[in-house]
């Protein structure tokens, strides 16, 4: 399935996340994956609230959108979808992929995610349908070196040979709260928004 796309087919990498805030890891990995897997476009899809992250302090949708826009500006191959972010409650990847298929009937989709997502993947809604619609590209993530594809999903998971980037939004939020610098961790244009709007200070 992965190799069946012809040259003219639009190849779209679907990159979902909370992006609370977006960080240099997101940006660098999305760029590398696009190049290495010959994707035409990486579609960033910020979610309203992850069904698995119910406790973390979440910046407003408008703030996260502004940060992602600022972080990805000038990258012609990156676009942002608002398909999930304004939804009330949790959004599910499988529903998003169905909507994307309607919008792009002929595109070939890949779902891109960090390796930390693999252990819980079989608990996502309709995981078989997800990988059928968008086989996974997985990048290495600190602490998850051994995480394997869930049983039965192996052939739908491809590991990207990208460097390990030890950054997380959680760590960045904690640093800001503690008054420490996050320069070099967050794209400068997104950092400006964090500072201007006083995000994550408490
Ligand atoms: P948090 O710390 O709040 O859980 P996060 O840093 O994991 O956030 P998300 O917005 O949840 O960021 O990430 C979106 C996607 O990017 C997920 O698939 C996640 O696995 C992946 N990802 C984020 N940071 C990295 C990283 N440093 N290396 C590899 N993958 C990453």
Residue 117 near ligand 1, beta carbon < 6 Å: yes
Distance 169 CA to ligand 1 centre (A): 7
Does the domain formed by 11-197 have CATH 3.40.50.1370? no
Residue 46 near ligand 1, beta carbon < 6 Å: no
Q: What is the pLDDT of residue 7?
A: 64
**Residues 28, 165 contacting (CB under 8 angstroms):** yes
pLDDT in tens, the chain (202 residues): 455 545 689 999 999 999 999 999 999 999 999 999 999 999 999 998 766 666 668 999 999 999 999 999 999 999 999 999 999 888 899 999 999 999 999 999 999 999 999 999 999 999 999 999 999 999 999 999 999 999 999 999 999 999 999 999 999 999 999 999 999 999 999 999 999 999 999 8
Distance 142 CA to ligand 1 centre (A): 10
Task: Calculate the alpha carbon distances from 140 to 47, 71, 187 in Å.
Answer: 22, 22, 20
Residue 62 near ligand 1, beta carbon < 6 Å: no
What residue segments make up the domains of the chain, in order of their start?
Answer: 11-197
Distance 198 CA to ligand 1 centre (A): 22
Cα separation, 11 vs 41, whole angstroms: 7
pTM equals 0.94
Q: What is the pLDDT of residue 87?
A: 92
């Amino acid at each position: 399935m992965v190799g069946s796309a012809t040259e003219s087919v639009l190849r779209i990498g679907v990159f979902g996340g909370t992006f609370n805030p977006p960080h240099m890891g997101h940006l660098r990995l999305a760029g590398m994956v696009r190049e290495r897997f010959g994707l035409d476009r990486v579609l960033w899809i910020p979610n309203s609230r992850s069904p698995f992250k119910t406790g973390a302090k979440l910046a407003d949708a408008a703030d996260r959108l502004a940060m992602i826009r600022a972080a990805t500006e000038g990258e012609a191959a990156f676009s942002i979808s608002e398909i999930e972010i304004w939804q009330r409650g949790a959004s599910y990847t499988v529903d998003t992929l169905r909507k994307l298929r309607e919008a792009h009937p002929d595109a070939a989709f890949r779902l891109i995610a960090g390796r930390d997502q693999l252990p819980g993947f079989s608990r996502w809604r309709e995981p078989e349908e997800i990988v059928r619609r968008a086989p996974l590209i997985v990048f290495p993530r600190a602490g998850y070196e051994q995480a394997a594809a869930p049983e039965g999903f192996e052939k739908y998971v491809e590991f990207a040979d990208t460097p390990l980037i030890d950054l997380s939004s959680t760590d960045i939020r904690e640093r800001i709260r503690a008054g420490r610098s996050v320069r070099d961790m967050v794209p400068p244009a997104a950092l400006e928004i964090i500072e201007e709007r006083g995000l994550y200070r408490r």
